Structure 1
Amino acid sequence: MTDTPKKTVLKSVPAPTRPSREEAMAAVRTLIAWAGDNPDREGLKDTPKRVINAYAEWYRGYDLDPAEELSRVFEDVSGYDDMVILREIDVESHCEHHMAPFLGTAYVAYLPTDKVVGISKLVKVVEIFAKRLQTQETMTAQIADAIDSALHPRGTAIMIDAVHQCMSTRGVHHPNVSTITTQFTGEFKTNPALQERFLRLIGKTG
């Protein structure tokens, strides 16, 4: 009897109860003091409020559901069965190790079966996962998994190319190093020629 391959499931730890806005601003004041400055001086008085407002924008992905974004599909594709590719999707995220930004570009492709989704929804899925504390590797896999789960395509291809500020502004201080991650599923995973065509179409191969 042949064992059926098991799908890799990305596990997530439930978030704890969120502190109040006042508690979050108090934490920022503590960090300012820890850094060696006075949180009560004029230039820093409103900084806790600004930081919390910025966090609400940077991490809004926790309040959004990628499955919901991909729930509305279009079944009238007139027999189209080739790649759907989105190139040059801006990625603005923060690494979960240092909470430092990493900035780059995502490329997303899928091979539709009997339905497609609005292209803006694919961009939104990238944004949802980017607006969380992340590792680039995890985010790449999460995007592919969300598309596979919602659309059941014949295959999905994801590439992210990003520069991590935790490496360029601290630590080894190498500002010109970018990290590339890929995730291929379905026919993209089993067909090297299809992978090569995807990479050529997004301009990532000679």
Structure 2
Amino acid sequence: MHTPLANEINRESTPLNTRPITPYTLKAPVEADGFSWPSFGARQRAEETPEQEQQRIGRIADAVRTILTEVGEDVTREGILDTPERYAKAMLYFTKGYQTNIRADVLNNAVFEEDHEEMVIVRDIEIYSLCEHHLVPFYGKVHIGYIPNKKVIGLSKLARLAEMYARRLQVQERLSKQIAMALQAILKPMGVAVVIEATHMCMVSRGVEKTGSSTVTSSMLGCFRAHRTREEFLTLLNRR
């Protein structure tokens, strides 16, 4: 049995030693029923009746009333009276990506056989999402590129794909990866590239309060990992 020396540092376990790796990267991007990395309760939201949805809104509204009371507000005053229900409906909209079916609602049979093997780029796709750490917005633009391997996707579907993943509680790094991995699984192209440029209100309006800051993340798969292809993609992005 090892006896610690007097000058040895007692190191506590790190999160990497105590928690498993985020499992979404180990799962197929599109499940058999068409959902993409469904969260706990995603299918329940997708299948609920209007009456069940109204009950969900009521439960969220009750929780918001508690929050408003605890921050010192009067939940009976005119300006606040209907805020809990408004917030509940807004939150369900902000997170509608959980209940989106990628096959039926996003792709909708818009994958086509096409003899094209040159780079396709759709840039400046606006996204709005919620940071899962503080539940405040981050927003910006997504740029998506891919090199087809006999299959192309309707251009608007790239925007819908980004929208689906953005309308969840997110971190920008994961959002970049999810878009890239899903497109890779759907088309099986020679490569996929995703770049996101976003402003985070959790950094702008609280904490360090750096109003001019922005965050850039990327995910490069397949041939985009090669230096020449990556450079071509980034050069085309910067050409205005």
The TM-score normalised by the length of structure 1 is 0.89
One-letter amino acid of the counterpart of residue 78, structure 2: E
Asked if 1:129 corresponds to 2:165, the answer is yes
Aligned to 1:15: 40
Give 4+ residue runs of structure 1 displaced > 6 Å after superposition.
none
* Identity score, percent: 38
One-letter amino acid of the counterpart of residue 15, structure 1: F
User: Separation in 1 of the partners of 2:164 and 2:234?
Assistant: 24
Contact conserved, 1:67 with 1:146, CA < 8 A, in 2?
no
User: Separation in 1 of the partners of 2:119 and 2:206?
Assistant: 40
* Superposition pairs of residues 1-206 of structure 1, within 5 angstroms: 8-9=25-26, 14-16=39-41, 20-68=56-104, 69-70=106-107, 72=109, 73-75=111-113, 77=114, 79-189=115-225, 191-203=226-238
User: Separation in 2 of the partners of 1:136 and 1:14?
Assistant: 17
User: Separation in 1 of the partners of 2:66 and 2:193?
Assistant: 43
User: Separation in 1 of the partners of 2:163 and 2:38?
Assistant: 20
* Rg larger in structure: 2
Name structure 1 gaps, 5 residues minimum: 1-7
In structure 2, the CA distance between the partners of 1:10 and 1:140, relative to structure 1 (3 Å rule), is farther
One-letter amino acid of the counterpart of residue 192, structure 1: H
Name structure 2 gaps, 5 residues minimum: 1-24, 29-36, 46-54
In structure 2, the CA distance between the partners of 1:204 and 1:172, relative to structure 1 (3 Å rule), is farther
What count of residue pairs does the alignment treat as equivalent?
195
How many Å apart are 1:66 and its aligned residue? 2.9
The TM-score normalised by the length of structure 2 is 0.76
CA RMSD of aligned residues (A): 2.0
